[in-house]
Amino acid sequence: MSILIDYFIIFWGFLLIGLMAIGGYFMFRKFLKQLPKEDGKSDMYWQHHYINETRHMWREKEKALLEELVAPVPELFRDVARQTIASKVGEVALQRNKQQITQDILIEGYIIATPKRDHRFLRKKLKEKHIDVTPYEQFFAMSKSDYRSNWKKRYQMENK
């Protein structure tokens, strides 16, 4: 009986250390987003800035599309994903001096804000909605790099 309790305590200790490490990792990432960059403002500041500047530019149709696009993200991280994508969409809209956020600007901002590993889902969703992807190919090339080493080879094989 004593050996089972010893193993349980060891298991519980490793579990707690692992969970604290995972939580610390996400807290550290949030901390890094708060650090000022070369311009004296943090990534988090610019996200809030673009969202606040373009809040009035969103129509219900584009809000619904954004919700559809972030739906596969786990609920725990969905708010962060929505905020990151909405800020990039707002940045694109402000750079182009647009009065409203259109579907084109939303898709462009989504592509630029998300890593390449998420683009397969976007292509599938756009195909379901009968939206042509060819005008956005240049933005697929501009987006964040994928974290997997052989994503191009795997992507080409899946699309054949």
d(CA 102, CA 78): 22
Q: Against a cut of 0.85, is the pTM above it?
A: no
Cβ(51)–Cβ(88) under 8 Å? no
d(CA 122, CA 85): 13
CA distance 84 to 118: 14
Q: State the amino acid at position 16 in one-letter form.
A: L
Classify burial at 159, counting beta carbons within 10 Å of its beta carbon; exposed 0-12, middle 13-18, buried 19 or more: exposed
- Residue linked to tokens 């596969």: 72
| Tens digits of pLDDT across the chain (160 residues) | 689 999 999 999 999 999 999 988 888 877 877 888 887 888 888 889 999 999 999 999 999 999 998 988 888 888 888 999 999 999 989 988 989 999 999 998 888 888 888 888 888 888 888 888 888 887 777 665 544 455 445 444 444 4
